[in-house]
Amino acid sequence: MRARETWRIIVLGCLVTSTLPLCAYTQSTTHSSNTPCEGADIDKDYCFRCHSNTTQLINVISELWRVEDMLVEPAKYARSNHAELNCLECHAYTWPFFPHQESVRNLRLSCLQCHQGEDKFAKFRFHYIEQQYNRSVHEENLPDTFSCFSCHDPHEFDIADPDDEIRYTIENSNRLCRKCHASLAEIAILTTRKLPRLEEGHSWLPGPDLHWKHVRCVECHTPHEEHFSHRILSAKTAERMCEKCHTKDSILLTKLYKHRVSETKQNYGFVNMAVFNDAYIIGMTRNIYLDWAFLAFIGLVVMGVGGHAGLRIITWKWRKKHGK
Amino acid sequence: MASRIYLYPGWLRVWHWTNALLFLLLILSGASMHYAQPGGLLIPFETAVSMHNICGITLSFMYLFFVLGSLISGNIKQYIPNPRGILVRLFNQAKYYLFGIFVGAPHPTHATLEEKFNALQQITYLQIMYGLVPIIIVSGWALLFPELAPEKFLGAGGIWPMAILHSVMGFFGALFMMGHFYLATTGDTVLANFKGMLTGWHNTHTH
């Protein structure tokens, strides 16, 4: 125990010494932890010294304090939508000493603190997202433990690009859901409710693995609206009618393949070209020439058989009369 | 003078009627999936998928049974037409169906133990049983297990040629079913051929 305390003092001393410029900076300003942060000149790399695995410092720190849930991957952060932001723009900097005050951990950050009221974010419709989210199953069942950050890690968030390959869009989207729903241990952290395993909950679905590979969870677990909805539906209210997707006018054309529809045109009679290069979806992938040919040939055969049978019936009496 | 011969052994009749039922269910369920729409008149999609999968897998095993049975019993020879004079036999049979049948002309071919089928039947059944059915089974398994299909085919998803092939073969199978069912009524009586395929006995006429 004495050794442990000694180490703590040594590390603390090193950290404090190396942050003297920061102390000087923070003491000269006043800042409330509840207001949106202003920009700061502190380099992200400064924070990453502890809050990432890029240095060995984290190995020492984690021996003494719980930091595993405060790690950020610099490479992912650099690719995220928030890459240009300094850490201090979101995280309050009333922590001149290490470890930071407990209040920093409990700071209730919200996407809407930044992403609301500004014209440049209007196209993302954050106001509607909040409304939709408030009606979702997550908010209904986990109002205190669930938030935007439960799915969207702001340090890694990278909005889906319409030009991305569909399979990457599907993988990235489903990974968010599977992070919790594919792990009973993760669910147990959020709730005491006993939820079925993913496979059990989808046992009604033919070929669930195929579906998870080729469509996003949200295709069925969000309502069919003009814009993508954040109102996640429960197992009971999620879409279960197969024909909603497996049909020529599939709802997938307004969801997963929405951005492809503008490129859609018939090629050699294949409708729904949006999916052509990515998947074959029974009932949705159709060729109108083939379909019409099928129906025309069947019509011809029915007429031929009907005509032939009719003629046999008509000539039956004559054949009987003549003993044939 | 009328007599009868035992043309269709038990295993063949069981296979035939099981196949007929499977084909019918596969056509119905296949059409229900292909032309699916909410509130449609066909079988609900979810039910159609299960029905199609179960019947398709069963058909696969029944086909293996048929091929083995045909090889062991020698029945496979019935499907191979004698090339000598085949065109004449084909013409005569077609002429009977298109004209002769209406004026009471005699059947140009009579079924015997050595040759159960007329030339048209031989050509048709050969293409169906050793062409269409294996293709539809293989393409069906590729749809059931898409990982077996290539990832890409001519730049597009690799599964779609299997799907197109399966649909087209299914369509021809449906056409065959209609023609086959109707032509079965062209025996000595409307139900004669059906009875023969149920009992195994075929009435012949010695002239």
Model ipTM? Answer: 0.88
Q: Which long-range contacts (CB under 8 A, 24 or more apart) does B70-79 make?
A: B73/B9, B73/B11, B75/B12, B78/B115, B78/B116, B78/B117, B78/B122, B79/B117, B79/B122, B79/B125, B79/B126, B79/B129, B79/B130
Residue of B nearest to A204 (CA): B46
- What single DSSP character describes residue B105? P
Amino acid at site A250: S
pLDDT of residue A7: 59
Closest CB from B33, B157, B175 relative to A282: B33
Q: Which residues of B touch A301 (CB under 8 A)?
A: 175, 178-179
Q: Which residues of B touch A242 (CB under 8 A)?
A: 36, 44-46, 49
CA distance A115 to A266: 40
Number of CB pairs < 8 Å for A and B?
A: 92
Closest CB from A275, A277, A283 relative to B45: A283
Contact call for A283 and B38, based on CB within 8 A: no
**pTM score, two decimals?**
0.80
Contact A324/B at CB under 8 A: yes
Closest CB from A277, A311, A322 relative to B156: A277
H-only helix segments in chain A? 2-18, 20-27, 44-51, 57-64, 74-79, 102-105, 111-114, 126-134, 137-141, 148-151, 166-181, 184-190, 198-201, 208-214, 217-220, 288-321
Encoded tokens for B5: 């011969």
CA distance A232 to A238: 8
Contact A243/B at CB under 8 A: yes
Q: Which residues of B touch A312 (CB under 8 A)?
A: 101-102
Contact call for A278 and B155, based on CB within 8 A: no
Contact call for A319 and B103, based on CB within 8 A: yes
* Sequential pLDDT tens for chain A (324 residues): 456 656 555 655 555 455 444 433 333 333 333 333 344 456 788 888 878 877 767 677 666 666 656 788 888 899 998 888 888 788 765 556 666 666 666 566 778 777 877 788 888 888 888 899 999 999 999 988 888 888 888 888 888 787 788 888 899 999 999 988 988 888 888 888 888 888 889 999 988 998 999 999 999 999 988 778 899 999 999 999 999 999 988 888 888 887 776 555 556 667 666 666 667 888 888 888 888 999 999 999 999 999 999 999 999 888 888 876
Question: Are A64 and A14 a contacting pair, CB within 8 Å?
Answer: no
Contact call for B157 and A243, based on CB within 8 A: no
Distance between B74 CA and the closest CA of chain A, angstroms: 33
- What single DSSP character describes residue A163? T
Encoded tokens for B118: 């007329």
For residues B206 and A135, which has the higher predicted lDDT (pLDDT)? A135
Lowest mean pLDDT among A100-114, A236-250, B34-48, B160-174: A100-114
